[in-house]
Structure 1
Amino acid sequence: MPAYNQVLRRLALRPGLVYGSSRSRTSGAAAEVVPLATPGAAWRARVPAGTTICFADGSRGAVQVPLWAEMPDFIIRKKDGVAAYQLASVVDDLRLGTTVIVRGLDLLPSTAAQLWLAAQLPETRAFSAPRLRFCHHALLTDPIGQKLSKSTQAAPDAAWLSSAAGPAVVYRAVARLLGLPPAASESLTTLKQAWG
């Protein structure tokens, strides 16, 4: 939390970058701009019109995301005062020394939002290529076509890593998505070596 809050405070000091909003994320109504100190206000990052983020993706090649259209003025601090996903991901990945990020294609706009957000401060600018490599894969679905994710796992499916197969099932899925040879799925080490 202290690391998140430090970055939030620094972003709030940038003129015109962050504003308080009382709008519900799902309301679709225009944001009511309020002071950042307003109790219950979310903090939003003001994305300028026309902002497009370009980066190299390991499975898609050169990618361009019109951030201003796909994620305009996204939330960086929730109404409860806790850092939102976009900011927390940047801070965590920098803190942990993450160098490869593999995500579902549905999170392509989030990657763009995080790259744009990280570029706003000197201490977070390292969240960028070539230090980071990204790979956005097609979504994995269950037999009836519903997206598989941490948030949608049913109780019996939630223990992939503790199953008899251990983490190998995850390594095989990642290797398949990245188009790597079967031998690359033996362990996290061989998977990392195969992808570089």
Structure 2
Amino acid sequence: MQGKSGGEQVHGHAYRGRFAPSPTGPLHFGSLVAAVGSYLDARAHGGEWLLRIEDVDRSRALPGAADSIRRTLEAFAFEWDGEVVVQSQRLDRYHAALTRLRLDGEVYPCACSRRAIAACSPVPAVDGGLVYPGICRAGLPPGRAPRAWRMRVPDREIAFEDRVQGPVQQNLARAVGDFILLRADGQYAYQLAVVVDDAAQGVNAVVRGVDLLDSTARQIWLQQRLALPTPTYAHLPVVTNAAGEKLSKQTRATAVDASGGCVVLAAALNFLGQPVPPEIRSGSLRDFWRWAIATWSMARVPAQRGVFPG
């Protein structure tokens, strides 16, 4: 599909956004909300919208899920620009970035197991793990082989202005500690892959779920160390189930039914603070998107985490 020319400027360049689902299962309502928000923000700015399949964690990828997600998006009449990028086909790019960081002294080998970290530092991290206490920062303990590669982080605040959540700041050393870029199983970490891909694709506006808000400071730090541009960020509220859990494969989220057409899309827009008139909800997909693009407002999107729709 051909990209659009022109468009509103972001950091001096035409707006370029993306939707980057992980193929861990079929598209569910929570992912649809993120797709709708990112798509409308891109089109309302006259910009491009890219589709990227984030399957760098092969242990979580479900066979056939990527094709299923793509078919569902097509059934809802989403239109993306350019070819679909697949992370598992871009490992050489992540290797090159890690090699650069190694040569610059920004990363180091780590021999620690989760048990060793828990024994040394039971401090909870923002990502659900434990804050890494820097055991291997000055070098591997004698006789220990490296298991992973970690990114050195500063003991200072990383701050940015989120378009939905407002001012955000995080001290990486206290929030997560030096974080992993290459895992013990040989797989590249999401943090590295997403930074490399956004820069390579020229993405300058990221719209995604607020469950990824705590990752942003790590990604900004990586961007700075790799001399890559930092996009703008907008973190949308995430959809939860009745138990307050984010919809996901782990919480057995059901696949969204594309046959619902405008009614389902209207529910996603309503969740994002954009009420849809009855005549639009009952009309064609073409008319729905035309209306939604013309009326989209990020300022109306609620900032709350884990809002349960109705």
What's the CA shift string for 1:154-181, capped at 9, x where partnerless? 27x1x32x631359746753x4454345
Alpha carbons of 1:169 and 1:72: their partners in 2 closer, same or farther (altered >3 Å)?
farther
1:139: how far off?
A: 3.1
Q: Is the 8 A contact 2:109 2:146 kept in 1?
A: no
- Higher normalized contact order (CA 8 Å, seq sep 6+, divided by chain length): 2
* Amino acid aligned to 1:119: Q
Q: Residue 14 of structure 1: which of 71, 87, 104 is its match?
A: 104
Per-residue deviation, residues 80-99 of structure 1 (Å, max 9, x unmatched): 22210110111122233333
Q: Distance in 2 between matches of 1:171 and 1:194?
A: 12
Q: TM-score, normalised by structure 2?
A: 0.50
Following superposition, the deviation at residue 73 of structure 1 comes to: 0.4
| 2: CA distance, partners of 1:29 / 1:55 | 34
TM-score normalised by L of structure 1? 0.75
- Structure 1 unaligned blocks of 5 or more: none
| Amino acid aligned to 1:78 | R
Q: Could you tell me how far apart the structure 2 residues matched to 1:13 and 1:168 are?
A: 53
Write the mapping of 1:25-174 to structure 2, written as runs, cut at 5 A: 25=114, 27-30=117-120, 32-33=135-136, 34=140, 41-49=147-155, 51-122=156-227, 125-126=228-229, 128=230, 132-149=231-248, 151-152=249-250, 154=252, 157=254, 159-160=255-256, 163-165=258-260, 169=264, 172-173=267-268
5+ residue gaps, structure 2, are: 1-90, 121-133, 282-287, 299-310
Residue pair 1:171, 1:191 contacting (<8 A) in 2 also: no
Partners of 2:289 and 2:175 in 1: how far apart?
Answer: 36
The SS at the match of 2:296 is: helix
Number of corresponding residues: 181
In 2, distance between residues paired with 1:9 and 1:167? 47
User: Match of 1:56, as an amino acid?
Assistant: E
Structure with greater Cα Rg: 2
Root mean square deviation, CA, Å: 3.3
2:239 and 2:146 map into 1 onto residues whose CA distance is 36
Cα distance 1:193–1:18, how it changes in 2: closer, same or farther (>3 A)? Answer: farther
CA distance, structure 2, for counterparts of residue 192 and residue 108 of structure 1: 27
CA contact (8 A) 1:12 1:18 kept: yes
Q: Is 1:194 matched with 2:296?
A: yes
Amino acid at match of 2:236: H
Q: Distance in 1 between matches of 2:219 and 2:107?
A: 15
Counterpart Cα distance in 1 of 2:114 and 2:196: 22
Aligned to 1:182: 276
Do the aligned residues in 1 keep the contact of 2:158 with 2:217 (CA within 8 Å)? yes
**Cα separation, 1, equivalents of 2:290 and 2:96:** 33
What percent of counterpart residues are identical? 36
